Amino acid sequence: MVQTSKFIDTKVSLYASESILTDGSFLAVSDKRIKSIKGISDKREDLKKLLNIEITDYTMIDSIESGVRPFKKVIAQQVESIVPEVININKGTIPNVYELAKSISISNEGSTITTNKVHDFSVGDLIKVIIENDGERYVKVKRVIDSNRFLTEEVLDSKNKVFIYGKEVDDLRSVDYDGLTTLNISATQAVYDRVVGLEKENSILTKQLSTTNEKLISTKKELSSTKQKLDNLIKLLNKSNILNKDDTKVLIK
């Protein structure tokens, strides 16, 4: 099931509904002579932004097109609140119903389609449908009957099964992953600067600790020497009978 997209805010020369594979490289012109450079990005602020971006585990609603394999990527709306400049807003179709129509009835006004899910359609919406034996097309909502029924301008063949994909929106968001890559480069530079700073601080602290240890060793030696001299003095005084036994005991303590 191929989902088409109409771009309104971004000029597009090549649109692919599936993956693009190349044996070469992806090249983007980045010559400074075509740019009006405002300055170098703030690395610390970029790091803060990067840390606030959530990596999300998800699967695609359109399992027919994308399968059920898990993805680990970002969500455009969440990124937009942090780095809006990497978000593009385009026109496209969302699978907000993604089910077979419960029933279809035909009249002179058009086709009344009933869904099991709440369709969330409005008058004038273009709805992508896949019709059995006919393929994909868009139908226009003429009237919303209730949350599960709507009338289309087009008369469809009620004998064919109709798969309701979803409605076309003009605010489908996409992410410029190149922009996120450069944000990551800037943030990595901020981390590197911090690591270098911590290494310098650690080197200074190591030297200070080494100096303190040397002073401590010297102090211990001086105390040991002083104690030895004091012991010798006590012995000398004791032999000369200048001190009695009680005085000697007090000095030894």
Give the model confidence (pLDDT) of 84-142 as tens digits.
999 999 999 999 999 999 999 999 999 999 999 999 999 999 999 999 988 999 999 99
> How far from 195 is each of 85, 133, 198, 199, 204, CA to CA, in Å?
29, 63, 5, 6, 14
Does one domain contain both 108 and 232? no
Q: What is the pLDDT of residue 2?
A: 38
- Residue 108 forms part of a structural domain: yes
Say how many domains are in the chain: 2
Helical residues (DSSP H) of 75-176, grouped into ranges: 76-80
- Residue 106 forms part of a structural domain: yes
Does one domain contain both 88 and 171? yes
Mean pLDDT over each residue of the chain, to the nearest integer: 89
Give the model confidence (pLDDT) of 15-63 as tens digits.
787 788 888 888 888 899 999 999 999 999 999 999 999 999 999 999 9
Q: d(Cα 170, Cα 49) in Å, to the nearest integer?
A: 27
Residue 125 belongs to what domain range? 5-19+41-175
Among positive and negative, which fits the CA dihedral 7, 11, 13, 14?
negative
Among the candidates 143, 158, 175, a domain finishes at 175
- Residue 25 forms part of a structural domain: no
CB 243 within 8 Å of CB 237: yes
Does one domain contain both 135 and 237? no
Q: d(Cα 176, Cα 24) in Å, to the nearest integer?
A: 21
Q: d(Cα 225, Cα 161) in Å, to the nearest integer?
A: 103
